[in-house]
Amino acid sequence: MPVLIFIDTAEGHVKKASLEAICYGAKIAEQLNTAAEGIVLSEVKDDLASLGKYGVTKIHHVNSVALNHLDAQVYIKVIAQIAETTRAKIIVFSNNADGKAIAPGLSVRLKAGLVSGAVTLPDTSKGFTLKKTVFSGKAFANVSVNTDKKIIALNPNAYKIETRDGVAEMIPFQAAVDDGKVKVTKVTKASGEIPLTEAEIVVSGGRGLKGPENWGMIEDLAKSLHAALACSRPVADAHWRPHNEHVGQTGIAIAPNLYIAIGISGAIQHLAGVNRSKTIVVINKDPEAPFFKAADYGIVGDAFEVVPKFTEAIKKLKGIA
Amino acid sequence: MKILVCISKTPDTTAKIAFTDNNTKFDTNGVQWIINPYDEWYSLVRAIELKEADASTVIHLITVGIADAEPVIRKALALGGDEAIRVNTENSDAYYIAGQIAEIAKHGQYDLIFTGKETIDYNGSSIGGMIAEFLNIPYVALATKFELNASKAIITREIEGGEEICEVELPVVVSCQKGVAEQRIPNMRGIMAARTKPLKVTEPVAFESLTSIISFELPHAKAGVKLIPADQPEELARLLHEEAKAF
Ligand SMILES: Cc1cc2nc3c(=O)[nH]c(=O)nc-3n(C[C@H](O)[C@H](O)[C@H](O)COP(=O)(O)OP(=O)(O)OC[C@H]3O[C@@H](n4cnc5c(N)ncnc54)[C@H](O)[C@@H]3O)c2cc1C
């Protein structure tokens, strides 16, 4: 009874969030003295066997064009077939866009208790409990899964990727694949950019930047750090920046290694979506800005003066200037 | 066209998050309750827009909860919607709540079921996907745009680092987020009308929960901010590099 990990791909490539899920699933398997095995649906370009170095011993691969785009209903049925064949009791997802689409329905189909947004390994000392974020990152809940089968959706950036020696055995899986009812007609990638939820470093701008024309220096800073861009809600509402950069309680919740907030006051709703970042840097001209209370490092100063110099200093340290 | 909009009651976004009973219960003392913003701003408003475009559209709101959920559902009715249903039971896990909603939906012949992308208290993102599976109909999660073309829905949804447009024949369950619609403020006429709109109370069906919350905890407080003079951004860069090892 292996631990199964759903390995998510985009345009044939394995997503970073899935590597975290694999490492996490492999650790659970180790705790329970069993094996970790991956599930890949759709055609892929990456060498799947090499995912063994993250801890999976086998990969069940349904190599089907029909699965290249997500239709949750179709995916759920296929994953359920693999779960049945392998008699798996635990299935791990990343709590990313695809995980959120698939895991809840699978939970119903398998009657398996679901914990979405998990941030720790399960505690199996008495029962099976997991910690998850609640109140948009303002608190945690310890949730007990009371069913024999269990599904865990791991928050992105909540578990560290580690490698070891290992090659996964590829197992082609012959699944019955339904004709989906959801037809994908167009995919637009924010090309070349790093997905916000997967980014290690995020540079974020607020209303203090005065207008969209001033984002050049924010983009420069982000580029020097290989960071993704984010913004506060009023910035997205005013269409200075696209909606998909809006972070916070009513936007995207993120937990990068480093979050740099520039010209953002740090309202409670904003903090809710970013306070799980490991290191928080705040640049704000108002020493009373609430964000400083949630920050690790701060500069009280005018962003228009500080940011360009900060970017230069980073480039120098990284040897790119 | 018949639309079911799922409405959840959540603490106001500025509510103090604290716990009682040995950290096993959320402290509701002094908490203001609001409509979950994703339900209100996006799913409900989009449903209202669809009714404005086609007057024959019927909108039902549904909430699962005890009587204290009624002010919130009335507030939702003030924005729009024809009638509301409250399933009279204490909230439990997502499986239980989705099971209750699916039970109502089975008999309601809805073409479209909207949920918010998540609730801002339990952040489960689960209800929509579970309802769809209970009803054996398609589910499109994290919509940022929703259009109707006869019996077909054209939905833009978030994927990692981009967006995808998809088409699906009704019925479908859709979870909505920013982009689907714009927040509206209820007007006096709506508030008056809401008082007389039907709010049906039904009893829950027997259904189990698969998970339970054992306890809550608050995150560790930060050690405090290290301030760097504004004329020394290179010092900030150095600290981030050497001390925080952030890049
Ligand atoms: C229900 C609800 C949900 C919400 N959800 C979210 C959410 O998800 N995300 C979110 O971000 N907000 C959210 N908000 C809004 C939130 O309350 C704040 O209004 C918002 O975060 C403020 O954005 P801001 O910090 O960019 O702007 P402001 O609060 O206007 O702050 C601008 C900051 O820039 C500083 N500044 C100005 N000029 C400069 C300069 N030259 N150099 C440096 N600093 C400068 C100022 O000192 C100030 O601190 C929500 C609100 C509600 C009611």
* Residue A123 DSSP one-character state: B
- The tokens of A179 are what? 């004709």
Helix axes A216-225, A303-318, angle to 10 degrees: 20
Q: pLDDT of A147-205, one tens digit each?
A: 999 999 999 999 999 999 999 999 999 999 999 999 999 998 865 678 898 899 999 99
Q: pLDDT of B118-134, one tens digit each?
A: 999 999 999 999 999 99
Q: What is the pLDDT of residue A189?
A: 80
Q: What is the pLDDT of residue A190?
A: 66
| Helix H or strand E encompassing B154 | strand B152-159
Residues of B in contact with A197 (CB under 8 A): 160
Locate tokens 């007609």: which residue? A185
Q: Quote the CA–CA distance of A100 and A153 in Å, as a whole number.
A: 8
Cβ–Cβ < 8 Å for A133, A155: yes
In the predicted structure, residue B161 carries a pLDDT above the cut 80: no
Q: Quote the CA–CA distance of B27 and B11 in Å, as a whole number.
A: 10
Looking from the CA of A303 toward its CB, the CA atoms found within 13 Å total 26
Distance from residue A218's CA to the centre of ligand 1 (Å): 16
Could you tell me if A164 lies within 8 Å of chain B, comparing CB atoms? no
Q: How confident is the model at residue B223 (pLDDT cuts 50, 70, 90)?
A: confident
Asked whether A49 lines ligand 1 (CB < 6 A), one says: no
Model pTM score: 0.94
Asked whether A214 lines ligand 1 (CB < 6 A), one says: no
Which of B168, B230, B237 is nearest residue A301 as measured by Cβ atoms?
A: B230
Q: pLDDT of A113-143, one tens digit each?
A: 999 999 999 999 989 999 999 999 899 999 9
**Cβ contact B168–A302 (<8 Å):** no
The protein residue with its alpha carbon nearest to ligand 1, atom 30, reads A207
Cβ–Cβ < 8 Å for A231, A239: no
Which of A73, A96, A132 is nearest residue B160 as measured by Cβ atoms?
A: A96
Q: How confident is the model at residue B222 (pLDDT cuts 50, 70, 90)?
A: confident
**Cβ contact B236–A299 (<8 Å):** yes
Write down the H helix ranges in chain B. 37, 45-53, 70-79, 94-108, 127-135, 188-196, 233-242
On whether ipTM exceeds 0.90, the answer is yes
**Cβ contact B159–A187 (<8 Å):** yes
Q: What is the pLDDT of residue A69?
A: 92
**Cβ contact B19–A186 (<8 Å):** no
Cα B67 to its chain centre, rounded Å, is 19
**Cβ contact B219–A139 (<8 Å):** yes
Q: Which of A114, A95, A134 is nearest to A17 (CA)?
A: A95
Distance from residue A270's CA to the centre of ligand 1 (Å): 7
Query: Over chain A (321 residues), what is each successive 10-residue block's mean pLDDT?
Result: 95 92 98 97 95 98 93 98 98 97 98 98 95 94 98 96 97 94 90 81 98 97 96 96 93 95 97 95 98 97 98 93 58
CA–CA distance from A213 to each of A202, A216, B74, B146 (Å)? 20, 7, 43, 30
Distance from residue A240's CA to the centre of ligand 1 (Å): 13
Q: How confident is the model at residue B162 (pLDDT cuts 50, 70, 90)?
A: confident
In the predicted structure, residue B228 carries a pLDDT above the cut 90: yes
CA dihedral sign of residues A190, A191, A195, A199:
negative
CA dihedral sign of residues A281, A286, A291, A292:
positive
Domains and CATH numbers, chain B: 2-242 (3.40.50.620)
Q: Which amino acid is at A121?
A: L
Cβ–Cβ < 8 Å for B44, B81: yes
Which of B227, B228, B247 is nearest residue A225 as measured by Cβ atoms?
A: B247
Give the CA-trace dihedral at A220, A225, A229, A230, to 10 degrees: -120
Residues of A in contact with B140 (CB under 8 A): 72, 101, 182
Q: What is the pLDDT of residue B39?
A: 98
Cβ–Cβ < 8 Å for B130, B103: no
Q: What is the pLDDT of residue A10?
A: 86
Could you tell me if A318 lies within 8 Å of chain B, comparing CB atoms? yes
Locate tokens 């709109």: which residue? B197
Locate tokens 């109140």: which residue? A135
Domains and CATH numbers, chain A: 3-172 (3.40.50.620), 196-318 (3.40.50.1220)
Please tell me the distance in Å from A306's CA to the nearest CA on chain B.
6
**Section B173-188 average pLDDT:** 95
Q: Quote the CA–CA distance of A88 and A80 in Å, as a whole number.
A: 10
**Cβ contact A185–B234 (<8 Å):** no
Cβ–Cβ < 8 Å for A22, A36: yes
Q: What is the pLDDT of residue B233?
A: 97
Helix axes A97-110, B94-108, angle to 10 degrees: 80
Residue of A218, A249, A280 to test ligand 1 pocket, by largest number of atoms within 8 Å of CB: A249
Q: What is the pLDDT of residue A22?
A: 98
**Cβ contact B133–A257 (<8 Å):** no
Asked whether A290 lines ligand 1 (CB < 6 A), one says: no
Q: Quote the CA–CA distance of A262 and A311 in Å, as a whole number.
A: 13
- The tokens of B179 are what? 């982009």
**Section B165-192 average pLDDT:** 95
Interior angle at CA A96, CA B151 and CA A178, nearest 5: 45
The protein residue with its alpha carbon nearest to ligand 1, atom 51, reads A269
Interface of B with A in 29-68 (CB under 8 A): 37-38, 41
Q: How confident is the model at residue B104 (pLDDT cuts 50, 70, 90)?
A: very high
Asked whether A137 lines ligand 1 (CB < 6 A), one says: no
Asked whether A249 lines ligand 1 (CB < 6 A), one says: yes
Atom of ligand 1 nearest to the CA of A264: 25
The protein residue with its alpha carbon nearest to ligand 1, atom 43, reads A284
Q: What is the pLDDT of residue A14?
A: 94
Calculate the average pLDDT of chain B. 96
**Cβ contact B167–A185 (<8 Å):** yes
Burial (CB count <10 Å: 0-12, 13-18, 19+), residue B89:
middle
Cis peptide bond N-terminal to B171, omega within 30: yes
Q: What is the pLDDT of residue A294?
A: 96
Interior angle at CA B166, CA B162 and CA B172, nearest 5: 120
CA dihedral sign of residues A102, A108, A109, A111:
positive
What residues pair up with A172 in beta bridges, in sequence order?
Answer: A61
Q: What is the pLDDT of residue A240?
A: 97
